[in-house]
Amino acid sequence: MKKYSAILLSVTMLFTMLLAGCGEKDASSTGDSPGKEEMTQLNFYMMNSPVNDFDRVMKKANEIIGKEMNAKLNLILVDSSTYAEKMNLMINSGDDWDLSFTANWGGINFFENAAKGAYADLTDLIPKYAPQTYSRIPVGLWDGVKVNGKIYALPNYQQWGTAKREGFKFRSDLAEETGFDWKALKGKPTIEVLEKIGPFLGDALAKHKEMIGFETSSVESLYASNPLLWNMEAVGDTSIPGWINLDNPDKVINQFETEDFAKYTEIMRDWYNKGYVRKDGATVKDTSTDRKAAKFVAERTGSWPDSIDFPGNPDASNMSMTKGADNAPAVTVSTTRTMIPAGAASTAAIAINADSKHIDKALQLVELLNTNDDLYKLITLGEEGVDYKYDENGKFTMIEGKYNFNFNEWQIGQSYSPDFNRAAYDKNKDGDIQKKTQTMVFDADKTAEISPVTGFVFDPTPIKTQVANCAAVASEMIPALSSGSIDPAKALPEFLKRLKTAGVDDIIKEKQAQYDAWKAKK
């Protein structure tokens, strides 16, 4: 009887455990098979225009992601004109998202959002969940995405490296046609360069009235978006007033009070009146259509080595977003010093939501995007033979009307890899030359001048009202001043006065104090 009771008790306990297992299934189970982890969906927000055949390519991408890490990538594309506003609203509203493209420009506010706890602290997690990503990025870049000593984003280290020079790109056929000596611009101050470019634009447009002289838009200011071009560096986010001049790096200044800015607005007004720039340059948000149609005579560029340092560089052989040198041949000239800017790391990076339920998985996804070449090329280029091909000469060619990621690969991961296997290099001599030029840039990453502001993070909290007020004034008036659509003789004094009223002097004072304190601790 005792033995029977023991057996009955064992059977009863086993049956109870089985029932409990059915009634209290682990939340991570898929329901298909016991113990199988539920597939995690990761929502990743980035800037991009609509992409043809997006669902087809993402379905194939998710086959790889599902197999490698049992997750699904929900890549959400947001138009560049509304991206910053949307992401900041989502952050402030506590909306659900996992990963996002982040930056120190365009109102995306990387440092501000990191400082207020919107982004996850990844300092200890990156070496564990993204070790190859961590090791491939130059050590100094990690300092550029730190706030209070903690890492809050993963820099998207690109095939063109980090050491940079700013400069200009010109239609080489038009330069030859008009006799424009573009080589003479090498190393010249930007104001002098613009003064020399003006007559070239006039000569070119007189013969090619269907073109646009110089690129302007409401989201990109030749001045406000490009401090290195003016021998300056932003102290904190580029969009917030308060820069330093690299020849006097200890003093924080209001960059809009400089003689260069005044002269720049005068030149742009002159170009506007002469028809060298778009009449709607203060409001147009997306100039990619003009680029793809080879409309521009000249544009700003970061291409380096330029056409003087390295003649025949395929990276600089055609105007941006055009089909190639056949329909829009180009030359480039660099005008600035070679430097790794403080904002290099935060110019393009990926952040993870501090409130995400899948921080570890999100990091694993970044690691997969950065190290699985097939996955990265699928998302950024599409399928070979369907969306792109190599012609009989080995030249990479996008197939008309098919998948096209709109040249936004820099937002979703690293195009850099030690074996140059993640980008659309031509399979010929040009591709070999391209890799050689980029090797030069990677070498320069180890030797280039380092920005004196590298490692400094501005905390806007003490003056957040002034920052918001100045940002509102700047976003309203800089596009018009930078595109020449308003007369700077009247508008510039008004702009400076409004900045004063908004509290720009408080911002400069606070930046100077924080900058001095940071330098004293170095």
How far, in Å, CA of 73 to CA of 71, rounded?
Answer: 7
Residue 139: predicted pLDDT: 77
CATH T-level fold of 38-160+347-453: D-Maltodextrin-Binding Protein; domain 2 (3.40.190)
Is 38-160+347-453's fold the same as 165-340's?
A: yes
Q: How far is CA 158 from the centre of its chain?
A: 10
CA distances in angstroms from 169 to 189, 298, 339, listed in the order given: 16, 6, 19
Residue 416: strand, helix, or coil: coil
pLDDT, tens digit, 9 for 90 and up, residues 384-414:
999 999 999 999 999 999 999 998 999 999 9
pLDDT of residue 417: 83
Residue 29 clears pLDDT 90, i.e. is over it:
no
In this predicted structure, what is the pLDDT of residue 26?
33
Is the pLDDT confidence value at 262 over 90? yes
Residues ≥6 apart with Cβ < 8 Å to 138? 157, 162, 445, 446
Q: Binning pLDDT at 50, 70 and 90, where does residue 12 land?
A: very low
Domain ranges across the chain: 38-160+347-453, 165-340
Euclidean distance between CA atoms 384 and 415, whole angstroms: 17
Contact 391, 326 (CB under 8 A): no
**Distances from the Cα of 334 to the Cαs of 43, 164, 328, 419, 451, in angstroms?**
39, 9, 19, 27, 18
The answer on pLDDT for 9 being more than 50 is: no
Whole-Å CA distances, 352 to 72, 121, 178: 16, 9, 51
The chain-wide mean pLDDT, for the chain, equals 89
Q: pLDDT tens, 84-98? A: 999 999 999 999 999
Give the pLDDT confidence score for residue 54 in this predicted structure. Answer: 97
Q: What integer pLDDT is reported at residue 18 of this predicted model?
A: 36
pLDDT digits (tens, 9 = 90+) for 145-175: 988 889 999 999 987 778 888 999 999 999 9
How sure is the predictor about 36, in pLDDT bands with cuts at 50, 70 and 90? Answer: low
Across residues 222-239, what is the average pLDDT? 90
- pLDDT at residue 314, as a whole number: 76
* CATH 3.90.930 for the 165-340 domain, yes or no: no
In this prediction, residue 35 has a pLDDT band, given cuts at 50, 70 and 90, of low
Categorize the per-residue pLDDT at 463 as very low, low, confident or very high, splitting at 50, 70 and 90.
very high
Determine the 3-state secondary structure of 384 from DSSP.
Answer: strand
pLDDT at 375: 97
- Where does residue 124 rank: exposed (0-12), middle (13-18), buried (19+ CB within 10 A)? exposed
**pLDDT category, 374, cuts 50, 70, 90?**
very high
